[in-house]
Amino acid sequence: MGRYTLMRLGVFAGCLVVVWGLVYSGLAPRGLGDSNYMWIVLLALVISAPISFVVLRKERDRASAQVVARVDRMKTNLEHNRSQEDGADDAARGGVQGQTS
């Protein structure tokens, strides 16, 4: 997941540099007043999102598979722990009921 995040940040940084160059060369419109930097960042976000969606598809699928595998492992461990607790609880109750009868 960290690799995907770094790659996504890299795509954004690349778009930020390109948009900054376009705005300051006059090929893209400037923001109003002091909002120029915010305009550049927002424009870079809007451009980088679809690029990341297409270019990083395989990496996103790989990260998703890792997350799913980790969640499945955690569910399995949780079920295993629950069954151990149930067995210990049943054994303890069986010993107590055997003594009272």
**pLDDT tens string 28-52:** 778 777 678 898 999 999 999 999 9
CA 47 to chain centre: 20
pLDDT at 49: 95
Region 71-100: mean pLDDT is: 75
pLDDT at 99: 56
> Residue 56 pLDDT > 80, yes or no?
yes
Residue 31 corresponds to which tokens in the numbers above?
A: 């923001």
Q: How confident is the model at residue 89 (pLDDT cuts 50, 70, 90)?
A: low
Region 81-96: mean pLDDT is: 70
Strands (E), 5-100: none
pLDDT at 28: 79
